[in-house]
Structure 1
């Protein structure tokens, strides 16, 4: 893991675009236009022997003709030109390059793709020789709004902000950029990693974890190849700021046929879950959930506990919220007798008398305020979700203002999440919550997921701070036993271990396992069960059943 020469990538003072073009819709043309439109303050030097000027900027026939040594090079040329161009750039002192070129990564079966291998190897060897850092190839590029830097061929600029986004998918990059801008979400850094020949997600995490302009890091991940580097960088970054990830491939088709039930560690997704948990990374599963989770972590207080109360003016929204909470492993708070008695004196006789707390459809601001005041003071309630469905009796804005006033004046440090349902009628209420820095969501389900995110984030922060016990000096793994098990399986032509074999290897390295016996008859099974003590689990051991 290294951030060597990253300053030339993230804080360049001058840029050259190799393969800059005046032809519409060419990558070299789009990149030049984006750099100029973004307002980059330093020199921009296009290189292309076909033009005297590109986009109105004086062009140069080759790298040697450049009037100065650029900090950053952007390459938009065919694969076979990349190694030679990097050599020329390295000789000019360039120490960072963004390679937009696609089609360079060698195919796994590459007898017929020898050219790809040579281009890839030549690119890496040249970069290493000069200490040059490479973003890409096959990347959309990077955007750093605070520097007015749009070194990409994205279709629009990023708004300035304090979120950093790292993506292993270029297509998703542009989609999220478009969506985020429509939502008024800005970025400190926006990167497409491409094929990660050099710079990978671990390197960028290492850099952004200590970047003062970045308050949270968002990632779209398809695979992690440098696991140790990633874990080290993620743990360090997560100690400083929230780190959130979408990991693709949850339903990995790669497990297929015979491997489909092994757990092949469920297409290895369980491995990623465990890694994210240990590194303090919060995992989400949808794009809008990613940004909702960031808002939640930004606008909430430290978690008081895991018991939630739901306040609603209609049964349906409350039931939906409760279902999502239970599905996420949450437990609704049991209101104290005192709270129940106080609410019964304040609310109509038809109120729900339990949690979710249905304060009835005609509830106005005063009723919302009275109910919320009692509920947040209940010692068994750790957080509250307040929902509102529009009615013709009372405006949503009135109820929202009452909720805002209670939260502002309350001495309680408990989190309150809000969800005002509807479109046009809910807009002003949501604006009130946003101005008061109170988390607000379009639906009750999203509000409840926000609390679940907060619960999970708190748990992962605790895990992050745990220090695993040191391996005792006297620890001696029985490697010979493990080796014997593996050699036996290989001799039988197997690439998968059965359960007893896998447990034998774990035991050889001192990892606790459940006592396991292999029974060939009913009598043996009964004897082993009595020996172990009930309850027991009975499984089939057969090479035909994985």
Structure 2
């Protein structure tokens, strides 16, 4: 995974068009005209030996003749020329290139392979081939051949389809909507969807990401990038092909990443309006404001169909409405009456502002003689500040372009029908719920003692050494028993339970090991429930799967959740398991395994999501205590809160560079729920008398997507300082970063933090100055040979 030099594509300072042309209809002419006509303010060069100048711009014969290295080059020539062009650009210092042309033959693909090899020594990034290009409207940078110029907005568009990208850009332009960036990925020979998601996750100009993909090429990279992006902003995904056998797996992957899957292009387009224009804090409820009862009925039907919930109207709320609007009918929907005036809509928003439980405000209006749409729109603009959870509008019959643009300028999305408005809001709610699922703290389960896991590992390895690749019956049950799973004997298995859940594991070519869960319908007629899941699972994620079953209300969920989580742990810990099939028989008070079969192999694909890395666990005697150093887990949230609570205000200020009173659940979840593929937090714990553990200190390192640099930070309980714990943790995070192949470990501290500066020096860091005179930096090269 890498975002190296992607800023060149999204924030170019200068551009060269290789193969720029005057020939009407040629790719070189389309790219050149779009770049020069878009208003890009930086230097522009044309490269074509047939011209001395092009539209008043100086033209050179070859890329190597450019007067200075362009930030990005757009290549419009044939594949045979790509390797030499990339070699010249890379040697000149260009950081990125967009290849517009396609590969149509094996010979073309060989030229592409050589071009990628030529780019690698220079770290030059290549988008494409077959890419429509990259557009950054805020810079008037239209790099490629989009069908129209693009306005600036808050949503990023990322697509594998050139035709769909052009269609969406045209659709948005006709409606006065814009984008922060628009990217057509092309064939993804180098830059792919995961790379772009990683960049956009931290792009300040992008409030939301709309993604259209058919195939994910690098599942682990994609999942890691998507989870990071979805924690920061809404990510909505469209994938066509519902009849595709693996489509349900994509649905599971999107949900696991915290993304919202949309069903159609119409839905995705509506989100350009909702997310690109407005700043809506989607709760679980909303209040509908309208003047007409028929319109209200249509809107309520749309909300119910979308799964949205209209907020209840309390007696206090109703009384406030009657005082402010005597002719209105309190409730939800709030009916202002057929003779309502524009100012009544403003008064309604003002009343709702005092009742926070009313949620997001929806104004659905059909123009009347008393309340013309344009006048109502102006009232909404004037009273928008009262809609504390956001305001969305729907005007039947449409509004003028000037009115629409005025609403957009004030951050009010406008939809053409109640159905579109309701579905757009429902997807925001889905994002919030999905993000909450990512941030949930799983219930703690009894930890598997290392000896049990080692015994299961030994059984799998012994079987393979003996030439056995399948375990069935008792042998399979014996391996699973190490993870707390109890199998039924054939006599016991004949007894019925509430439901049988079939669990299968297969090694997918892209996503690696994936689960498929199948449960029968409750009526025996409807199709069975099928769900995919990506390991590792925990009880929270397992509950999300179990809750969809028609039998969920009949069962005690806890044994089911524990069993699913244990099966997942077996797969994560025993890498020799490449296939699995068993039935979980759910009974009133327990769950048992029936007919287990396990397939073994010496090699297995990588998991798409990195599981808890048990190999970094260590336990040893330390100052008369049994100290464990291990990676942090989501279940450590309560202990982490106690760690922070045990630090003095001054220690907290030195650690977090400012006054800190405490952290809420969301902030603590970010500290304890980490993506082990790009981040590590090692905690030092000791046991309490009641069997719980106490966290004494933590050190973490967060790597950039290139694994070039990792930034570290450490904290130790104030009552444990001076005992060498900080140095112990620092030594382990340095060893971890070295083993991972990270090149540099860096950090910062307040200049007054003498203890941290002394620790860094003692561990071998170089202390440097920073742009802030009150802050010092630490830097250590990890790939230098030790003396």
TM range (shorter): 0.7 to 0.9
Residue among 93, 116, 137 paired with 1:145: 137
**Number of residue equivalences:** 499
Counterpart in 1 of 2:396? 421
Counterpart contact for 2:497–2:588, Cα < 8 Å = no
Q: Which moved more, 1:430-439 or 1:515-524?
A: 515-524
Q: Write the deviation string for residues 335-385 of structure 1: whole angstroms up to 9, x where unpaired.
A: 33455577689666xx87754344443333466566666666557533342
Counterpart in 1 of 2:128? 136
Q: Distance in 1 between matches of 2:24 and 2:479?
A: 60
Residue among 178, 190, 193 paired with 2:185: 193
- CA drift at 1:136: 0.8
Counterpart in 2 of 1:49? 49
Q: Distance in 2 between matches of 1:435 and 1:527?
A: 57
Residue among 235, 239, 245 paired with 1:248: 239
Q: Distance in 2 between matches of 1:142 and 1:336?
A: 50
Counterpart in 1 of 2:311? 333
- Report matched runs for 1:394-409 at 5 Å: 394-397=371-374, 399=376, 408=385
Counterpart contact for 1:74–1:98, Cα < 8 Å = yes
Residue among 355, 358, 361 paired with 2:338: 361
Counterpart in 2 of 1:231? 223
Counterpart contact for 2:157–2:179, Cα < 8 Å = yes
- TM-score, L = length of structure 2: 0.54
Q: Distance in 2 between matches of 1:461 and 1:29?
A: 45
The yes-or-no answer on 1:273 pairing with 2:279 is: no
Report the CA distance shift for 1:535/1:191 in structure 2 as closer, same or farther (over 3 A). Answer: same
Counterpart in 2 of 1:458? 432
Q: Per the alignment, in what secondary structure is the counterpart of residue 60 of structure 2?
A: coil
Report the CA distance shift for 1:57/1:373 in structure 2 as closer, same or farther (over 3 A). Answer: closer
Counterpart contact for 2:230–2:257, Cα < 8 Å = no
Q: Distance in 2 between matches of 1:67 and 1:519?
A: 80
Residue among 340, 346, 366 paired with 1:389: 366
Report the CA distance shift for 1:428/1:315 in structure 2 as closer, same or farther (over 3 A). Answer: farther
Q: Per the alignment, in what secondary structure is the counterpart of residue 21 of structure 2?
A: coil
Counterpart contact for 1:32–1:55, Cα < 8 Å = no
Q: Distance in 1 between matches of 2:347 and 2:355?
A: 13
Higher relative contact order, chain-length normalized (CA < 8 Å, sep 6+): 1
Counterpart contact for 2:210–2:236, Cα < 8 Å = yes
Q: Write the deviation string for residues 447-497 of structure 1: whole angstroms up to 9, x where unpaired.
A: 3234323322322332343466899573655468899999xxx999xxxxx
- CA drift at 1:151: 2.0
Q: Which blocks of at least 5 consecutive residues in structure 2 are unaligned?
A: 501-554, 556-584, 596-787
Counterpart contact for 2:255–2:261, Cα < 8 Å = no
Q: Which blocks of at least 5 consecutive residues in structure 1 are unaligned?
A: 105-112, 256-263, 493-499, 542-546
Counterpart in 1 of 2:298? 320
Q: Distance in 2 between matches of 1:509 and 1:114?
A: 51
- TM-score, L = length of structure 1: 0.74
- CA drift at 1:140: 0.9
Counterpart contact for 1:64–1:88, Cα < 8 Å = yes
- CA drift at 1:133: 0.9
Q: Per the alignment, in what secondary structure is the counterpart of residue 419 of structure 2?
A: helix
Counterpart in 2 of 1:311? 289
Q: Per the alignment, in what secondary structure is the counterpart of residue 358 of structure 2?
A: coil
Report the CA distance shift for 1:394/1:249 in structure 2 as closer, same or farther (over 3 A). Answer: closer
Counterpart contact for 2:254–2:260, Cα < 8 Å = no
Residue among 279, 284, 287 paired with 1:299: 279
Q: Distance in 2 between matches of 1:364 and 1:292?
A: 27
Counterpart contact for 1:99–1:138, Cα < 8 Å = yes
Report the CA distance shift for 1:313/1:507 in structure 2 as closer, same or farther (over 3 A). Answer: farther
Report the CA distance shift for 1:338/1:23 in structure 2 as closer, same or farther (over 3 A). Answer: closer
- CA drift at 1:403: 5.7
- CA drift at 1:434: 4.7
CA RMSD, 1 decimal: 4.6
Q: Distance in 1 between matches of 2:491 and 2:329?
A: 57
Counterpart in 1 of 2:534? none
Q: Distance in 2 between matches of 1:45 and 1:457?
A: 43
Q: Distance in 1 between matches of 2:498 and 2:68?
A: 84
- CA drift at 1:197: 0.8
